[in-house]
Structure 1
Amino acid sequence: MNIKPLADRVLIKPVAAEEVTVAGIIIPDSAKEKPLKGTVVAAGCGTKDEEMTVKAGDTVLYGKYSGNEIEFEGEKYLIMRQSDILAIVE
């Protein structure tokens, strides 16, 4: 990965939106919700006031409107501050 987030920012690869419900109903593209879960690809080194608690490989939950979408080498990522992350999924 050639992207290194600065300070307390985190680069996240969102999980793909579900295409079929548990009951087997196919969800059209227009009705899919933005995923709220992703995997941390890279993390900055923190700030003097706040150390980083997430690291590359962590699966995290984040807010619906958190972060900025970027596209790098054909892949879509989110870059956000660590404070926008709600939880680490273990």
Structure 2
Amino acid sequence: MRDKISDMQNDLPAEGNGLYLNIILGSNLNLNLLDADNRYKYKQEYEDFKVTVTYVIVAMLFICYMFPFRAIDALCNFLLVWYYCTLTIRESILRVNRSR
């Protein structure tokens, strides 16, 4: 089991992977999610991410409603697709780590 854990840790992203990877996976990339406190922190960060991006999406949809341009509509659609893809990745990480 310890060999499997060390192999998984080698596959996890290391520090300095860039802003985009930090946004998608969370800012705490090199943590050991076997600890209950670390799992809770990651889940809390996930919930904060959902709230923040939801506010941005609502603001963008309001702007899209007020200014019906095709470029703004495309940006809103891209933001929604990106949001759901990111949520899928983060939820998969939470499920693998036995989070409820």
**Short-chain TM bin:** under 0.3
Relative to the length of structure 2, the TM-score reads 0.20
Greater helix content? 2
Relative to the length of structure 1, the TM-score reads 0.21
Greater strand content? 1
